[in-house]
Amino acid sequence: MAFENLILEKEDYLAILYINRPKALNALNAETLYEMEEAIKDIKADSNIKVVIVTGVGDKSFVAGADITFMLPLSPHEGRFFSDVGERVMRQFELMEKPVIAAINGFALGGGCELAMACDIRLAAENAVFAQPEVGLGVIPGFGGTQRLPRLVGEGRAKELTYTADVINAQEAYRIGLVNHVYPADQLMDEAKKMAKKIANKAPLAVGYAKFAIGKGMQVDIDTAMSIESDMFGMCCATEDKFEGMGAFVEKRKPTFKGK
Ligand code: HXC
């Protein structure tokens, strides 16, 4: 698929989605968000793809936020619409059954940090930096940051980061649980691909059901969450891969999963 502001590469079971506006440090404007929706549709429909990596083009920036030049003239109505579109796109990463890994290769500011937070797993390069700088621009996070940051790092830390607009480095992001791992910049993509491969070798339906159970379960009370989990466990028992996975264990061999 050809895009103006994205590159979508596919390697076997892996889709790599690059945000590609290096002149603006990969800032997200409306066109880029619309293209991301198209790319997500393509990835969801491609049954070969089991894992997605999202990253930024270049070695400096993951995404330096929503595009400030684009946002400057927005009316209240247009601003709300832009926020809505961004929220919808970010949510698509959470709702798709395929796991999404953010490979954060530099600036993850504002909407960039929000994009990273909408991914399932965050891997950061040592040079990555994170912030929600919006209040310094007279706005607030609008791609889900006010909701996902407290869920990830706790309310107190989320409020401090959001009210002060402080920039934190990758190690601090790791310390507070904003990222899962930190790697030297030149190893980031290899590590992301290694993790993608590990996931792709597991039973894809089970991975998707686990994502569903965690995602839905985090939104509801614990009893409802438990029944979502047992429903999904039951669904796994309807798959060929469950017989393959458990059969392989009993027969002392490696399983070969089919995603069925
Ligand atoms: C538009 C951006 C941009 C952005 C960088 N650029 N970030 N353009 N929107 N978010 C552009 C610059 O204008 C510049 O273009 C080029 O990228 C290189 O940036 P420099 O500032 O020259 O680079 P550097 O000195 O290295 O500083 C990098 C930086 C700084 C620290 C990342 O660019 C910066 O502070 N950017 C803004 C970060 C930010 O506040 N993001 C949050 C946005 S609000 P030219 O043409 O001059 O070369 C947000 C809200 C989300 O994300 C929710 C919306 C609903």
The answer to whether residue 2 scores a pLDDT higher than 90 is no
Which amino acids bring their CB within 6 angstroms of ligand 1? Answer: 24-25, 27, 64-69, 82-83, 86, 107, 109-111, 133-134, 137, 141-143
45 touches 89 (CB < 8 A): no
Among 25, 62, 113, residue to substitute to test ligand 1 (most atoms within 8 Å of Cβ): 25
pLDDT digits (tens, 9 = 90+) for 157-176: 999 999 999 999 999 999 99
Q: How confident is the model at residue 121 (pLDDT cuts 50, 70, 90)?
A: very high
Region at 182 (left for phi over 0; alpha for psi -120 to 50; beta for the rest)? beta
Q: Which amino acid is at 255?
A: P
Q: Which amino acid is at 109?
A: L
User: What is the C-alpha separation between 57 and 239, in angstroms, rounded?
Assistant: 38
Mean pLDDT, range 150-158, rounded to an integer: 98
Region at 19 (left for phi over 0; alpha for psi -120 to 50; beta for the rest)? beta
ipTM tops 0.95? yes
pLDDT in the model for residue 1 = 74
pTM for the whole structure: 0.98
Q: What are the structural domains of the chain?
A: 6-200 (3.90.226.10), 204-250 (1.10.12.10)
What is the SS3 assignment for 205?
Answer: helix
